[in-house]
Amino acid sequence: MSDPFFQKKRKRSGETGAGKGRAPPRRGDDADSDDAGLEAVEDMDLRHTFDEDEAQESETPAEAKVRLAKLYLEGLHEKEEIDGIDAAAVDRDNIAARLRKDVEEGSGRMHLAVASRLSKPETKDVLCVRGHRACMTCARTGANAVHLFTSDKDGRIVQWRLRDGRQVSVMPRGRDYAAEAPTSSTSGAARRRARHLEHVALQPGEGHTSSVLSLAVSDDGSLCASAGGDKRIGIWETTPPRWVKALVGHKDAVRSVAFRGGSKELYSASYDRTVKLFDAEQLSYIETLFGHQEAIQDLSCLRAERAVTAGGRERTCRLWKIREESQLVFRGGARSKVHALLEGGDLVDTPVDKKTEVHEGSIDCISMIDDHHFVSGSDSGALSLWSIAKKKPLFVVHAAHGYAPPSGETGRALPRYICSVACLPYGDVFASGSWDGVIRLWALEPGLRSFRFLFDVPAPGVVNSLQLLTPAIERMEQYPVDPSQWRRRGGVHAPLHHAEQQDQPRRSAASLRDTVHTSADGRVLGHKESIPPLLIAAVGPEPRADRWIHIPDAVSAALVVPLWLEGSDT
């Protein structure tokens, strides 16, 4: 007998196949609704709509470049329509020129041509602050140009407001708190402490215990780095001013510090012959670069991950490529035909005047023009223009600051040392300083093959540091310096004046509209070429790290000189 399970299965499947006894499906209101649904489906738009994000994900890199270029050009057209500028301004600010400027800026090459429009500063435009008893060693500001920082050989740092030259705070020298003297409310020390209430309060171990040789300010002005003879790098916050931390690692005095443009990456050069990299925001050490055989005298860097250093008695300049972990060596000093040929020169070189050429013993200062060119100064008084594509200088001016009077020891005149040099970042202007009483400004010729003298600015004393920068502003009313509000106008030895009233005409706002290219709403046109550069210098009676010369009539001061632009393009 078969299994009942399979019998039941066969009977049910047979009934299903016959189809007898099943009622037909009802078609009433449901049928009408089904027909309406079919008609609605036929009328629906079943095409998939792609949003902008999906379209960008599906486009190729070439299509993305074309789309971004169209958006950029549309933005330029909209800007011109909004500004309502005249035809002459449109000709200066045409789209092709702006595109070319953007490409040059992105390539890291020189793109600011302002030398032909610089006018020699008037005496009243040479602004000065004096607040250090010891010799001033350095003066620096950031790209925002809000505050000025100055340092001296006593280890003090003073913060000034660039708008009117007022003192903001003093970052004092670090003290030894192990044996603190008893205080008295009537003693002279107590009265001095009362006058120094604006000093930043330091805890034990904070601040510098030796001279501060160099300063660096980040582009946003939030951090200030100080290099000291105590082998430490001090990191300070600027608003409000306070000590953050000391970065250690160098085994000798730190001679120079610099922030990489647009970042908080800090480079330092020391007498221990090394270059160190730090992250000032994270307060951390990155790496150490070796290669110099003598104490490093100066360091300079821009936006790219590379820096140049001056090797001092080694008579070399070195270009450090951080990302590639490599370096290029450029040798100065005495030259011969064989040495020049080995370094890439010609067998038949241009004749050199033996009367003006002086043996170069040390390269003491250096500054980058762009990512491919730099300028150096030496103890022979020579200013040298270098390219990273050649091992020898492209152009040299010997005895750029003249000759010192003959001394009793040698009986002959020697050229004045180049104590400091500074280039306008990515610009065609640079400045040099010595102790001949002036700061000399030089213009780079097109093609960066040579340079020529422009004019000088009075600066009595030893020029220990120089800085040239273009303030990061959008409108001329935001120009960081108002000469009418400074009390000492006219140089180091000028008397104090009362600040002028705010309703009087200001050179930095109203009259600047006649000397720069501005739009109808006051915005600066032509990128940075229409913004007057700032020259900042620190002068003193002695060199910043030595005492081999002393100028009795010199005083410690910081000079701030706006370099106004002429109205006509020449």
- Name the pLDDT band for 383 (thresholds 50, 70, 90): very high
Token output for 82: 């909004």
pLDDT reported for residue 175: 73
DSSP string, 224-276: EEEEETTS-EEEEEETTEEEEEEE---SS-EEEEEEPTTS-EEEEEETTS-EE
Determine what percent of the chain is predicted with pLDDT higher than 90: 55
pLDDT reported for residue 160: 96
Q: Look at residue 83 and tell me whether its pLDDT is greater than 80.
A: no
Tell which residue, 165, 219, 220, 261, has the closest CA to residue 561: 165
Tell which residue, 568, 529, 538, has the closest CA to residue 556: 538
pLDDT tens-digit profile of 281-336? 999 999 999 999 999 999 999 999 999 999 999 999 999 999 999 999 999 875 54
Residue with tokens 């200001």: 506
Q: Look at residue 120 and tell me whether its pLDDT is greater than 50.
A: yes
pLDDT tens-digit profile of 397-434? 999 999 988 876 666 788 999 999 999 999 999 999 99
| Cβ proximity of 163 and 480 under 8 Å | yes
Alpha-carbon distances of 109 from 94, 211, 372, 395, rounded to whole Å:
21, 36, 7, 18
pLDDT tens-digit profile of 427-463? 999 999 999 999 999 999 998 999 999 999 999 999 9
Lowest mean pLDDT among 139-148, 205-214, 511-520: 511-520
Q: Look at residue 11 and tell me whether its pLDDT is greater than 90.
A: no
DSSP string, 113-132: --GGGB-PPPGGG-EEE---
Q: Look at residue 493 and tell me whether its pLDDT is greater than 60.
A: yes
Q: Look at residue 202 and tell me whether its pLDDT is greater than 70.
A: yes
Alpha-carbon distances of 106 from 259, 269, 463, rounded to whole Å:
19, 27, 33
Q: Look at residue 104 and tell me whether its pLDDT is greater than 80.
A: no
Q: How far apart are CA 36 and CA 38, in angstroms?
A: 5
Q: How far apart are CA 268 and CA 250, in angstroms?
A: 9
pLDDT tens-digit profile of 543-552? 998 888 999 9
| Cβ proximity of 439 and 474 under 8 Å | no
| Cβ proximity of 145 and 531 under 8 Å | no
Token output for 385: 């223009």
pLDDT tens-digit profile of 501-555? 544 434 444 444 444 555 544 555 446 788 999 999 999 999 998 888 999 999 9
Q: Look at residue 364 and tell me whether its pLDDT is greater than 80.
A: yes
pLDDT reported for residue 197: 55
Q: How far apart are CA 490 and CA 484, in angstroms?
A: 12
Question: What domains does the chain contain, in order, with CATH numbers?
Answer: 123-176+196-347+356-495+517-562 (2.130.10.10)
- Name the pLDDT band for 192 (thresholds 50, 70, 90): low
Angle (CA) 148-151-152 rounded to 5° is: 150
- Name the pLDDT band for 349 (thresholds 50, 70, 90): very low
Tell which residue, 235, 257, 258, 231, has the closest CA to residue 246: 235
Residue with tokens 């003491």: 364
Q: Look at residue 196 and tell me whether its pLDDT is greater than 50.
A: yes
Mean pLDDT of the chain: 81
- Name the pLDDT band for 473 (thresholds 50, 70, 90): confident
pLDDT reported for residue 227: 95
CB atoms within 10 A of CB 92: 14
| Cβ proximity of 312 and 296 under 8 Å | yes
